[in-house]
Amino acid sequence: MIKLEAAELAARIKEEVKAEIEGGVRASLAAVRVGDDPASAVYVRNKIRACEEVGIRSEQHALPESTTTEQLLELITSLNTRDDVDGILTQLPLPRHIDETAIIEAMNPLKDVDGFHPVNAGRLALGRPVLVPCTPAGIIELLDDRGVEIRGTNACVVGRSQIVGRPMAQLLLQRDATVTICHSRTRDLAAVTRTADLLIVAIGRTGFIGRDHIKPGATVIDVGMNKVSDVDEVRRLFGDEAEKRLEVVAKRGSTLVGDVNPAEAAEVAGMLTPVPGGVGLLTVAMLMKNTLKAARLRR
């Protein structure tokens, strides 16, 4: 089995962005975070660091958990009107008391570097994309970079979120794949996923997809990012690599695993993205690319 590692491609994308910035394109990103969720703080920190690497000006707005929908809308409106802000990123999920839909819809579509605004979702659905969600866009870049055939293949997307599943299916359809979307109500999931030459999984369930779900030789893209600390669970999921992962658990308290069981997938799949080291790196790189694109579109 071939590991579809993404570090080299992600670095290349960021270098391309950096070259354009150094060539005179001005770009800036405003990152908005509400509350004290540790994962969200890490994600935003990584995005800010990436901005520093490529030369994109960035600012972070860290708001307290008590922030209301109205207060957040006021900030978004302010960022919309500022000429020195090209991209706006609101880190999801937001606290439950905030109307997430209202926040996304309030954003200027040309500054919506996550590609979640209904205008950007509609453009993607019509086959006329402008700003595309970063994770699906990064997956397409990875498949192209590694020469994975999309046209004419049977592709299955497990998960129907607005962030990954639905836009992923749209991109694959536009590349002439035959696309099936599976979700929690799909009957006999394994029977459906086993027909896929290209299987993309984004459901947030630790190691859920195993050998029985995968067609021999299929390319498997694991979008999941879950923490595991139980010793027996680590051994079950990682097989021969378990000892290395247990060292990580001993050092950090947990290790990362996706929605695919890596040990079982390795027995069947032709290619598999690792977690970490796979899709997550591309998500950040594509955010930089989207921010640059937003800056160029506005100017």
Structural contact between residues 142 and 9, judged by C-beta atoms closer than 8 angstroms? yes
DSSP secondary structure code for residue 269 in this structure: -
Distance CA 283, CA 29 (A): 15
Q: Is 114 a catalytic residue?
A: yes
> Does 91 participate in catalysis according to the annotation?
yes
Question: Any idea what DSSP says for residue 95?
Answer: P
From the candidates 14, 91, 197, 215, give the one annotated as an active-site residue.
Answer: 91
Cis omega (within 30 of 0) for bond into 93: yes
| Active-site position among 14, 86, 112, 114 | 114
Residues 12 and 129: their CA atoms lie apart, in Å, by 23
Q: Are strands 271-272 and 198-201 parallel, antiparallel or unpaired?
A: unpaired
Reduce the DSSP state of residue 81 to 3 states and report it: helix
d(CA 211, CA 240): 16
Cα separation, 257 vs 208, in Å, equals 10
Cβ count near 151 (within 10 Å): 9
Q: How far apart are CA 41 and CA 34, in angstroms?
A: 9
Of 272, 263, 211, the closest CA to residue 233 belongs to: 263
| Annotated catalytic residue 47 | yes
Each as own residue / partner, the long-range contacts of residues 121-127 (CB below 8 Å, 24 or more positions apart, any chain) are 121/162, 121/166, 121/167, 124/167, 124/170, 124/171, 125/170, 127/174
**Catalytic residue ranges:** 47, 91, 114
